[in-house]
Structures are given as structure tokens and as C-alpha cells.
Amino acid sequence: MNRAAEWADAERLLCVRLDAMGDVIMTGPALRALKRTQPQRRLTLLTSPAGAAIARYLPAIDDVIAYAAPWMKATAPHASAAAERALIARLRALRFDGAIVFTVYSQSALPAAHLCYLAEIPRRLAYCRENPYQLLTDWLPEPEPEQRLRHEVRRQLDLVGRLGAVPEDERLRLQLPAAERAAAQQRLARLGVAPDSRWVIVHPGASAPSRRYPAASFAAAARMLAAAHGCTVIFTGSTEERALVEEIRRAMQAPSHSLAGELTLGELCGLIALAPVLIANNTGPVHIAAAFGTPVVDLYALTNPQHMPWEVENRVLYHNVPCKYCYKSVCPEGHNACLRRVPPAAVVDAALELLALGARAPALAQAGD
């Protein structure tokens, strides 16, 4: 069956990506490919509340529907079955020509496919491990992890590639309004930091405990960068991560700034877009950095291999362990050795290498202006 021909007249597409912010960003090249193939297409993204927050900055997206799906771990608390009935009615009224369900390989596409089936969306595409029968009109048997493992961006590009959709380029991209970039510049100015000076962002949080570099190690690395190498260190994080940031700042025993809990998402994007280097765990800001060409030092827990920085200058740091690729939010061995055994000096060396390279991608540095 020629899938591209079958979908050629599908102008109103529902794109389902119910994961967190970073996953939505990594789906961006696939979404752009769908739009580029048929520029008249209108793309609606059905995503989690966290995904909806970043979706407004994604090129190619025309509309966003936020939905806390009860089968997803990382969504907001789910209200009731009435929410599904209301969503099904809303999707049916929008009369989509097709739906594409984007998942990581450990997820089942069937709940979302069933939602789209009940909404009477006539074409439905997804990877699926088991036979979906009538729930998917276009079923791609799940090849991961038995046959191969792919980066998350490549996985989604391969999915839409079955419809003949190819992007102009495969980089991550975000469009940041000029007002939000200016707000980030004002934040820097109030801290007395010149954009072209020697400074780094440290984002020490992550949603999963298994993906968090120890606070004491962050403190040691930040202290060396500030005291021994003259770098200005700016911490970012959510309101809930303020206590973590303050713990690190007390332990580093050197001057630093904290904007944890103070930034809008747009300001965080703007600050990362301006930064010479981002130092972070494997978490959403790493993919924001990649979307703006900001070099990244990624403290990468070996829970999975698919989310490393994509097409941006980077240094990925980890300690190889026999239990790697556990796909767990909490270390099943209890030692977190893949991160704990990364020495702070390695973080410092990686950051200094990137600062010395001045490794920004010029075409991306202006993305979204």
C-alpha cells in the first residue's frame, strides 16, 4: 500500500504526543516534515499540559489541545471519564482527516488510537507492538528494542517518513517572540551579566530521581567554574527546585545567581538561547538548548540511549555501568553510579572546552527572531 498517496489529501491532521516538554520538542522535526510535504495542512497537537506550554513555540503547529491522559505517567491529575467523552466529542466536531500517534517505544499507542477511532478520524497511523486490528488504519509494527534502537527524533521522522514527509532540515527548532527574548536580556542585565561574557547556566533538576546528578557534585563543579575559572554561574529551575538550587549554592561557597522559580517558560527559553553553555541533566532544557544552538554539557543517566542532545555541540557525561538502559525513573540498583561516578572536574573540563570553542551554531542562534 502506498501510504503517501493514501494520506496526500489529509489536510487536517491531529498529531498526538502526550509526553513531557522535551519529548514534544524532539517531535518538532517530524511535525515540520508533515507541514512541508503539504503546506496547506493544518496541524493540531494533542499533548499533555506540560507539552502544551512549549508547543506554542514549535514551528508548524497551528492549534494545541491540552489533555491529561489517564494512561500517561507524567501528566497532571486526571479529572474523570467525562473528560474523555468531552474530548472525543471535540475531536469529532473538528473533523480531522487523519491522526498520527507519536510514542516512545515503551508506550502503547492503543489508548490514543482508540480515542481517535471513537472520534471517527478516518486515518490513524502509529507504531504498535501488538496487532491493533481496526484501531489503526496504518500500523507500523514496533521494531524497538529487539531489532534496533533509534534516537527519539529519528524514530518520529521515520514514522512520518512512511507518509512521504521529509523536513527541510532535521534540527530542533523553537520560535521565540522578540518580547520574550528581550525579557531574558533584561533578566541578564539586572544580574549585571553581559551576554557576551563568560557565563554558564546550571539547571540541576530533573523529573526522575535516576536522572539527577548529585547536588554536592553540582556544587563542586560550579565552585571550580566560578572560583578557579572566572565564570558567572546562573542557576535555573522550577519553583519546586528552589530548595535544591539553594542547597547547591550554599555548598559551592562562591558567588552565583539563582533564577529558579522566577522565569516564565519563554524567559527560560530566551535565557538558554543567549547562554554560552548549558550544564544540565537529561531533561527538557537540554532540548531547548539544542533548538537554539546552545552548546550543552549533558549529565546523562544511562536510563536510555534515545534522548541525547540532537545536532548541537555537546559533551555527554556518564559512567558506564552494566545495568545501563534500565528505563527506570528510580535507580533499581540504588547506586545511581552512572551519574554519581562522573567527577565534577569532568563537568568543568567539558564546560571550558565548549566555552573555548565558542561553539554556537550561527544559523540556530537567531532561530525564532
CB of 97 closer than 8 Å to CB of 122 = yes
C-alpha cell at 359: 561553539
Mean pLDDT value of segment 126-132:
95
Mean pLDDT value of segment 146-154:
91
pLDDT band at 94 (very low <50, low <70, confident <90, very high): very high
Coil, helix or strand at residue 117? helix
Residues 6+ apart with CB under 8 A from 22: 283, 284, 286, 287, 307
Report pLDDT for 74.
59
Percentage of the chain lying above the pLDDT 90 cut: 77
Report pLDDT for 303.
83
pLDDT of 363 > 60? The answer is: no
Coil, helix or strand at residue 204? coil
Report pLDDT for 171.
96
Residues 6+ apart with CB under 8 A from 110: 128, 130, 132, 135
pLDDT of 361 > 50? The answer is: no
Q: What is the pLDDT of residues 199-235, one digit of tens each?
A: 999 999 988 888 899 999 999 999 999 999 999 999 9
pLDDT of 52 > 90? The answer is: yes
Report pLDDT for 72.
86
CB of 231 closer than 8 Å to CB of 223 = no
End-to-end CA distance of the chain: 42
Percentage of the chain lying above the pLDDT 70 cut: 95
Specify the range with the lowest mean pLDDT, choosing from 88-102, 140-154, 288-302, 320-334: 320-334
Report pLDDT for 284.
94
Alpha carbons within 13 angstroms on the beta-carbon side of residue 265 total 16
- 242-249 — which CB contacts under 8 Å span 24+ positions? 244/204, 244/205, 244/215, 245/204, 247/215, 247/219, 248/202, 248/204, 248/215, 248/218, 248/219, 248/222, 249/219, 249/222
Report pLDDT for 79.
63
Mean pLDDT value of segment 93-115:
96
Report pLDDT for 292.
96
Report pLDDT for 5.
83
pLDDT of 320 > 60? The answer is: yes
pLDDT of 73 > 80? The answer is: no
Report pLDDT for 360.
56
The CA–CA distances, whole Å, from 180 to 176, 202, 266, 289 equal 7, 20, 6, 16
Alpha carbons within 13 angstroms on the beta-carbon side of residue 39 total 1
Report pLDDT for 78.
63
DSSP designation for 56 = T
Distance CA 196, CA 220 (A): 25
Continuous H helices in 232-360:
242-252, 265-274, 284-292, 337-340, 344-357
CB of 201 closer than 8 Å to CB of 275 = yes
Report pLDDT for 81.
85
pLDDT band at 76 (very low <50, low <70, confident <90, very high): low
Q: What is the pLDDT of residues 160-172, one digit of tens each?
A: 999 999 989 999 9
Distance CA 229, CA 242 (A): 25
Q: What share of the chain is helix, strand, coil (3-state, %, to 5)?
A: 40, 15, 45
C-alpha cell at 250: 550554599
DSSP designation for 209 = G
The CA–CA distances, whole Å, from 44 to 17, 47, 88, 267, 340 equal 11, 9, 14, 25, 41
Indicate the length of the chain as a whole number: 369
Report pLDDT for 366.
36
Omega of the bond prior to 145 within 30 degrees of 0, cis?
Answer: yes
Nearest to 276 by CA among 353, 218, 195: 195
The pLDDT mean for the chain works out to 92
Q: What is the pLDDT of residues 324-353, one digit of tens each?
A: 888 788 888 888 899 999 999 999 999 999
